[in-house]
Structure 1
């Protein structure tokens, strides 16, 4: 989990997220955001077959994004960019307790059940630069 240091969700714990740049596929954006926000480059990426969504009353829009799951070696150093002030590896329970927004706990429950407690389906593996 990463503690946000920017304007949006300042000082709140979140997992990695971000937008899709022009010409990018969603999974390419996920790998880019992982690299930009943590410096981690070796990732086995999977589609979770889930979506995160929330409504912003301030800006009056609905944010919807696919959720990806990345497996990384724990010995890769984490180097945060300017968007975050802290990082911490957490258990699923800890992450749910620290999560900034409602709904994140449901996503974490899903990821724990389908990606941590059992081997994910090979059909969800994303084949690209992350092979």
Structure 2
């Protein structure tokens, strides 16, 4: 049997950088690979509260516009024999959003969809970026997916 875990959330930041829509990737300190914001749910947090906190901790971005990405990333962790199911959120940021990384990452880059797929190593990441790009960049998101904050 493989246990399921739903204790992690992730989010893809979207911003117009010098007039061109891009998504944010960061290079992890551990492992040295490129990824988007993700982290564990703490205490009594809801998933959407956890991703807001993770954005603040990892990038110093204050999330003001949050959507349920309506996508579940998934991967198997063989060292602990757990299947991770990770809800993905879309975060719209102001134009030319500033980023201040914490020590979990060494650098960041605002990327086109093609650049994001080229930089990232995992097929699941590629699926996440294609989905977010299709439903939140190429098309106007369904307003039912918007999460009302505070």
Q: Aligned to 1:36, which of 23, 38, 57?
A: 57
Q: Aligned to 2:35, which of 14, 22, 43?
A: 14
3-state SS of the aligned residue for 1:78? Answer: coil
Deviations 1:47-84 (A, max 9, x none): 01111110011222111110000000133321100100
Please, which moves more after superposition, 103-112 or 87-96?
103-112
**1:3 and 1:32 mapped to 2: Cα distance?**
19
Matched, 1:5 2:29: yes
**1:17 and 1:74 mapped to 2: Cα distance?**
22
TM-score of the two chains, using structure 1 as the length reference: 0.91
Deviations 1:68-118 (A, max 9, x none): 000001333211001000100000110011113111111111111110011
3-state SS of the aligned residue for 2:147? Answer: coil
Q: Aligned to 1:26, which of 23, 43, 47?
A: 47
Q: Aligned to 2:113, which of 85, 92, 102?
A: 92
User: Which 4+ runs in 1 deviate beyond 4 A?
Assistant: none
Gaps of 5+ in 2: 1-24
Report the structure, 1 or 2, having the larger strand content.
Answer: 2
Matched, 1:78 2:102: no
TM-score of the two chains, using structure 2 as the length reference: 0.80
Deviations 1:4-45 (A, max 9, x none): 003xxx100001001101110000001111110000114310
Counting matched residue pairs gives 126
**1:112 and 1:17 mapped to 2: Cα distance?**
18
